[in-house]
Amino acid sequence: MEKLSVLIVDDNAIRASIIEAGLVEHDGTIVTIATGLHGLVEKIESVQPDVIVVDIEHPSRDLLESYFSISRAVRKPIAMFVDKSDPAWIEQAIDAGVSSYVVDGLRKNRVKPVIDAAIRRFKAFHKMAMELEATRSELQGRKQIDRAKGLLMRSKGLSEEEAYALLRRTAMNQNRKISDVAERLVSAAELLAPGADKGDGE
């Protein structure tokens, strides 16, 4: 079983030690501590942690927004502990991709369960996002295939079945996906369409 790598972001050494103590006793978790925002993105890229724990003793809107911006950029599970908050901040945290947002809950025995939950939520969200992107890509591919079939039917007098067979045969010969061949055909047709370059000289 691989060891869990955790990056703790906290400018308070005592509070950081509480988080560290709640982690190192679990299967030798590897803990790295960073203080504050300065150089944080570079630190994350260097350490490549499995999860990031952000602890903010006195949160402010500007400080939270800075961390939320980092959360959007790094694509890592983030568990955030804050001493106080309001519904607007929690909503922003969720929008920014923070996996766990805990208010007034920094206790040694709570750290590991919160981090485990953050990782599970991140993985679930990431899987859902990937499936959504795959669905969008598939729909776009089908749309391009339909357009390409229409072009072939009109230009070569083919039936729909014959047009699709031609696309499939071309894809096999070129070792490409049918959707890729269809996209190239549609793009070429748009490029060659009358008036396609009309805007260049105006």
Please, how many CA atoms are within 13 Å of residue 61, restricted to the half-sphere of its CB? 3
pLDDT at residue number 26: 62
First-last CA distance in the chain? 64
Domain at 5-106, CATH homologous superfamily: Response regulator (3.40.50.2300)
Assess whether pLDDT exceeds 60 at residue 196: no
pLDDT at residue number 167: 92
Tell me which H or E stretch contains 132.
helix 108-156
Mind listing the pLDDT tens digit for each residue in 116-173?
Answer: 788 888 888 778 878 888 888 888 889 999 999 999 999 888 899 999 999 999 999 9
Q: What percent of the chain has pLDDT over 70?
A: 91
Residues 44-50: what's their mean pLDDT?
87
**Count of H-run helices and E-run strands, the chain:** 7, 5
pLDDT band at 202 (very low <50, low <70, confident <90, very high): very low
pTM of the model: 0.60
Q: Which residues make Cβ contacts (< 8 Å) with residue 70, sequence separation at least 6?
A: 37, 40, 41, 44
Q: Which residues make Cβ contacts (< 8 Å) with residue 123, sequence separation at least 6?
A: 77
pLDDT at residue number 195: 60
- The topology under which CATH files domain 132-193 is Arc Repressor Mutant, subunit A (1.10.10)
Each domain of the chain, given as residue ranges in start order, spans 5-106, 132-193
